[in-house]
Amino acid sequence: MHTFGHPVDMVGLMDVAARFSLPVVEDAAESLGSTYHDRHTGTFGCMGVLSFNGNKIITTGGGGAILTNDPDTARQAKHLTTTAKQPHRWEFVHDAVAYNYRLPNLNAALGCAQLERLPDFLTRKRQLAENYRKTFAHIPGIHFIDEPEGCHSNFWLNAVRLSGSSMSVRDALLAVANDAGYQCRPAWTLLNKLPMYQDCPRAELPVAEALEASLINLPSSPKLAELLT
């Protein structure tokens, strides 16, 4: 998953996948417009997936898209997302367990209009990130999450990481920010802490727990780029 729009180390990942003969499906839901060494995310594995949810860099109101260069995979994906119905003039014959994941025409039209605006959104997102980068550059104890070397990120969701991993410190900063009208939020709640998964087996999670306790997401609308200049 290209978290917050920042590309994963795809060279390393593809190398491991090749050694163990594993297919790679990229979760590029957050990284439309991001590139890894000049190649767009979602195009390295056998397929990638994009999200057009309401909070993504472009939206159709919901839904998403599948990216693949393999014609057989594309045909199978289209078949399974359109109820696996066999072509026929009147019969309703379905040859697999499948789904009705077709994007309605109205949503697709909205998506086409949004795609035309994508370059401007990306420019504004990167300008906002630059403003945040400068703002936090000299604040001790807070590190701005920047794009990896060799990558060009869409900065879908800007974030900072606290130098220490303390839920109480994180929550205190969130409270102060939100009280002041800045809608900051934590990155996530770990799944093993949710009621339905608390009794499930799990490994020790020191890295995930440290990230949970130290990451804060910042307001990231492209409309904010000029306001924070």
Strand order in the sheet with 185-186: 142-144, 159-162, 215-217, 185-186
For residue 80, the one-letter residue type is: L
Q: Is pTM beyond 0.85 here?
A: yes
Q: pLDDT per residue over 25-36, tens digit each?
A: 999 999 999 999
Digit-coded pLDDT (tens) for 51-88? 999 999 999 999 999 999 999 999 999 999 999 999 99
Domain at 3-163+214-224: CATH code: 3.40.640.10
Picking from 70, 68, 64, 69, the residue whose alpha carbon sits closest to that of residue 50 is 64
pLDDT digits (tens, 9 = 90+) for 174-208: 999 999 999 999 998 999 999 999 999 999 999 99
pLDDT of residue 226: 80
Share above pLDDT 70 across residues of the chain, in percent, rounded to a whole number: 99
pLDDT band at 228 (very low <50, low <70, confident <90, very high): low
| Averaged pLDDT, 7-18 | 97
What's phi and psi for 65, nearest 5 deg? Answer: -150, 155
b/e 33-52 (16+ beta carbons within 10 angstroms → b): bbbbeeebbbbbbebbbbbb
pLDDT of 102 over the 70 cut = yes
Q: Is the dihedral of CA 217, 223, 228, 229 positive or negative?
A: positive
Over range 4-10, report the average pLDDT: 97
Q: What are phi and psi of 31, to 5 degrees?
A: -120, 25
